[in-house]
Amino acid sequence: MSAHSVAEAKNRLSRLIDRALEGEEIVITRHGHPVVVLSPVAKPARPVTAADLDWLAEHRIGQAVPSEDAGELLKSLRDEDEQ
């Protein structure tokens, strides 16, 4: 782990990012107190495919797919209340 002031980090940002990408923990300090840690963004395990989305839609629990649009649904509910 290495700690760097905001001013130092500003001057050496590119190098600090490279070091963080290599696995080093980089801490940015303000007035001597740690405020930020630089770390790489985690890569997704794999991209989401159309087949993944289809599988999720087929295995959805507790959410019925509406057979009519929202306007028609509200109209039918309103009409039931008037009877």
Q: Is residue 14 part of a domain?
A: yes
Q: What is the pTM of this model?
A: 0.52
Q: Is residue 55 part of a domain?
A: no
Q: Is residue 69 part of a domain?
A: no
What are the pLDDT digits (tens) for 27-55?
999 999 999 999 998 887 889 899 999 99
DSSP per position, 30-56: ETTEEEEEE-PPPPPSS---HHHHHHH
Report the distance separating Cα 43 and Cα 62, nearest Å: 31
CATH of residue 8: 3.40.1620.10
Q: Is residue 9 part of a domain?
A: yes
Report the distance separating Cα 51 and Cα 57, nearest Å: 10
Using pLDDT thresholds of 50, 70 and 90, give the confidence band for residue 2: very high
Report the distance separating Cα 66 and Cα 4, nearest Å: 55
> What's the domain range around 33?
2-38
Report the distance separating Cα 41 and Cα 55, nearest Å: 27
What are the pLDDT digits (tens) for 66-83?
667 888 888 888 887 666
